[in-house]
């Protein structure tokens, strides 16, 4: 079994079990090594929602001891990407973030949580239906990043290309 199959199985179990959510986070720390030093953790997962926390810790700080803009952008990208990944298995679909726009609203001096949502209707209307006739689909995902006090810290929009692997053409 490869790591994407294992992640999919763990994500399904993590929706109903705190133990499996912890196991999912342990595995994510290993298969996404870039995020490991930041200690991002999925705190809630559902079919249409992923909430990911970034702790207030030194590895996430900027020069004025707030959470760095890049850490905020990365946790927002992570929650949106993981939500897409659990709905479109990496074995069947290639998911690539093509662009990101982020608006910073407030300096984060506490733990933050990024929340991404995607309804079944959006999946059907904006992704699956267009993929019946197109080789790829571009989708815009919104992630709201809030601190522990409930203050909106940032709003990120990530743009993703979704394509079936049999439609992928690479240069040799």
3 has a pLDDT exceeding 70 = no
Q: Of 3, 44, 7, give the one whose Cα is nearest residue 23.
A: 7
Instruction: Please indicate, yes or no, if residue 101 is contained in any of the structural domains.
Output: yes
1 has a pLDDT exceeding 70 = no
* pLDDT recorded at residue 168: 82
C-alpha to C-alpha distance for 32 and 38, rounded to whole angstroms: 11
Contact (CB, 8 A) for 77 and 32: no
pTM: 0.90
Mark out the alpha helices in the chain (DSSP H runs). 3-14, 18-31, 69-87, 120-122, 129-131
pLDDT tens-digit map of 155-171: 999 999 999 888 787 76
C-alpha to C-alpha distance for 82 and 112, rounded to whole angstroms: 17
DSSP state of 125: I
Instruction: Please indicate, yes or no, if residue 86 is contained in any of the structural domains.
Output: yes
C-alpha to C-alpha distance for 127 and 154, rounded to whole angstroms: 26
Mean pLDDT of 31-49: 89
* pLDDT recorded at residue 34: 81
Instruction: Please indicate, yes or no, if residue 11 is contained in any of the structural domains.
Output: no
pLDDT tens-digit map of 52-104: 999 999 989 999 999 999 999 999 999 999 999 988 877 888 899 999 999 99
* pLDDT recorded at residue 171: 65
Overall number of domains in the chain: 1
CATH number for position 83: 3.10.129.10
Instruction: Please indicate, yes or no, if residue 89 is contained in any of the structural domains.
Output: yes
Instruction: Please indicate, yes or no, if residue 102 is contained in any of the structural domains.
Output: yes
2 has a pLDDT exceeding 70 = no
């Amino acid at each position: 079994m490869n790591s994407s199959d294992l992640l999919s199985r763990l994500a399904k179990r993590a929706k109903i079990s705190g133990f499996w959510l912890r196991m999912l986070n342990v595995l994510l720390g290993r298969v996404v090594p870039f995020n490991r030093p930041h200690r991002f953790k999925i705190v809630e997962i559902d079919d249409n929602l992923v909430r990911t926390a970034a702790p207030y810790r030194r590895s996430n700080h900027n020069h004025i001891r707030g959470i760095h803009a890049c850490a905020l952008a990365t946790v927002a990208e992570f929650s949106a990407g993981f939500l897409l990944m659990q709905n479109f298995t990496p074995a069947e679909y290639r998911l690539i973030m093509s662009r990101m726009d982020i608006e910073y609203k407030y300096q984060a001096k506490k733990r933050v949580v990024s929340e991404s949502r995607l309804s079944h209707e959006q999946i059907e209307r904006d992704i699956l239906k267009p993929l019946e006739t197109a080789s790829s689909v571009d989708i815009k995902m919104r992630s709201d990043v809030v601190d522990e006090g409930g203050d909106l810290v940032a709003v990120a929009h990530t743009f993703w290309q979704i394509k079936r692997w049999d439609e992928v053409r690479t240069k040799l």
